[in-house]
Amino acid sequence: MHLFENLKKVFTKEPYSAREAQEIAHIYSWGPVLFQVCRLMIKYGILQMLHDNRDGLTQEEISSRTGLSAYAVKCLMEASLTAHIVLIETDNDKYRLGKVGWFLLNDAMIRADIDFNHDVNYEGWFVLDKALEEGRPAGLKHFGDWTTLYEALSSLPEEVQKSWFGFDHYYSDHSFDEALALISANKTRNLLDVGGNTGRFAMRCVEANPEIEVTICDLPQQIKLMRQAMAGKAGSDRVHAVEMNLLDEKTAFPTDRRYDAIWMSQFLDCFSEQQIVSILRRASAILDDDNRFYIMETLWDRQDYVPAAMSLTMTSLYFTAIANGNSKMYNTDDLSRLIHEAGLKIETIHDRIGNGGHSIIVVKR
Ligand SMILES: C[S@@+](CC[C@H](N)C(=O)[O-])C[C@H]1O[C@@H](n2cnc3c(N)ncnc32)[C@H](O)[C@@H]1O
């Protein structure tokens, strides 16, 4: 298996002493409620209060500032103390913010993950076993009768949409400038953005490059959201849209103009291996031999840090239980094999794009 050096060091030999391993296993066994404690310490503003009051706050002060009962605050603070989220001064019983609490409060990635995990995934993961055994997103059911999350997206409750888009945008937005530089270096004029969603990358392209035209293809529901998001914005006349469901094997890629590049950002991870090969084959039919595909993905084996690799392998289980039941965050070996199976060649892989974790795989026929 391919692994970046840092990951190889920790994934090929046991990193923990027995005592550390036992402690971690205990933490995992309380994972669901520990997660809720973290979320609620943010939601009730307690971590922010402790951040703003460096000398600390007593339980009574926290209770009067939050309006929560003494009982509720006591339970939350004691749980947070034993989870190292806060610290206590034993001489005056004041709580202070711990380092874990600081990161829960201030790390934008952690905040996007918490919202996504609570609003989109939490209930669905209860039936992860069913999803794994049956190969369908069994956890999507509590949102309604949908085959995949993508059809449901624009009909989901507002806070669920907000958390889904917050997560999606957080992870791709940071990478757009470097991606755009790569695409522009190849003098792209007509770009096809496959799974272009609400058009954030397309807007970035037309703002930065007065000559580029971008066509987004996506499901009709997302194209509608994209048109709303783009209405009246300068450059939006150079953003076009084609509604299509690429899961339908008979759906061909658009040929309304000669595209000189195809951009797929966080798109192929929405499909099973077999579907990826089919999509790439159909896409390659509309490009010439000297045109390129730019495939941006967060490949879990190409991460420098364990938490990043772990977030990605856990995200796979969102695809399993909630999104579609059959896709995942791929690794280099698997995605390369599928690209080759579709009759394509990998020209280069650019790593550490954006705030770290993305790779852009440049592919030719
Ligand atoms: C994870 S989002 C990525 C969005 C955007 N490219 C980005 O990087 O932020 C995947 C996109 O693929 C689209 N998609 C999923 N299934 C699709 C299908 N069967 N046909 C066309 N588009 C699809 C979704 O609607 C969504 O916009």
pLDDT digit string, tens, across residues 142-183:
999 999 999 999 999 999 999 999 999 988 888 999 999 999
If DSSP codes are grouped into helix, strand and coil, which group holds residue 243? strand
Using the 3D structure, point to which of 148, 166, 184 is the last residue of a domain: 166
DSSP calls for 18-47: HHHHHHHHHHHHTHHHHHHHHHHHHHTTHH
In angstroms, what is the span from residue 167 Cα to ligand 1's centroid?
13
Residues 161, 212 within the same domain: no
Measured by CA distance, the residue closest to atom 14 of ligand 1 is: 195
Return the percent helix, strand and coil in the chain, to nearest 5. Answer: 55, 15, 30
Residue 214 to residue 188: CA distance in whole angstroms: 10
Q: Please give the pLDDT value at position 89.
A: 97
Q: What is the pLDDT of residue 174?
A: 87
Whether residues 209 and 346 fall in one domain? yes
CA of 88 to the centre of ligand 1 (A): 46
pLDDT in tens, 290-313: 999 999 999 999 999 999 999 999
Shared domain for 153 and 204, answered yes or no, is no
Give the model confidence (pLDDT) of 224-264 as tens digits: 999 999 999 999 999 999 999 999 999 999 999 999 999 99
* Residue 354, pLDDT score: 87
pLDDT for position 293: 95
**In a 10 Å sphere around its CB, with 0-12 CB exposed, 13-18 middle and 19+ buried, how is residue 6 labelled?**
middle
Which residue has tokens 């600390």? 56
pLDDT of 185 higher than 90: no
- Contact (Cβ atoms closer than 8 angstroms) between residue 60 and residue 69: no
pLDDT at position 173: 85
Domain co-membership, 45 together with 137: no
pLDDT-based confidence at 186, cuts 50/70/90? confident
Mean pLDDT of the chain: 96
What is the residue range of 21's domain?
5-105
Nearest CA to ligand 1 atom 13: 195
- The residue out of 105, 129, 157 marking a domain boundary is 105
Picking from 130, 148, 166, the residue at the C-terminal end of a domain is: 166
- Give the number of other Cβ atoms within 10 Å of residue 309's Cβ: 25
> What's 99's domain CATH number?
1.10.10.10
Mean local confidence (pLDDT), 330-337: 98
- pLDDT value, residue 171: 85
Residue 282: per-residue pLDDT: 97
What is the rounded distance in angstroms from the CA atom of residue 219 to the CA atom of residue 136?
20
Percent with pLDDT over 70 in the chain:
100
Residues 6+ apart with CB under 8 A from 265: 172, 175, 179, 193, 195, 201, 296
* Interval 33-77: pLDDT, tens: 999 999 999 999 999 999 999 999 999 999 999 999 999 999 999
Element (H or E) spanning 353, and its range?
Answer: strand 345-353
User: Nearest CA to 297 among 325, 332, 321, 326?
Assistant: 332
**Does 326 share its domain with 200?**
yes
Do 190 and 284 sit in the same domain of this protein?
yes
Position 187 confidence tier, pLDDT thresholds 50, 70, 90? confident
Whole-number pLDDT of residue 234: 93
* Strand 358-364, strand 261-265: pairing: unpaired
Shared domain for 80 and 137, answered yes or no, is no
Contact 213, 238 (CB under 8 A): yes
Ligand 1 site residues, Cβ closer than 6 angstroms: 150, 168, 172, 195-197, 218-219, 222, 244-247, 265-267, 270
Coil/strand/helix, residue 180: helix
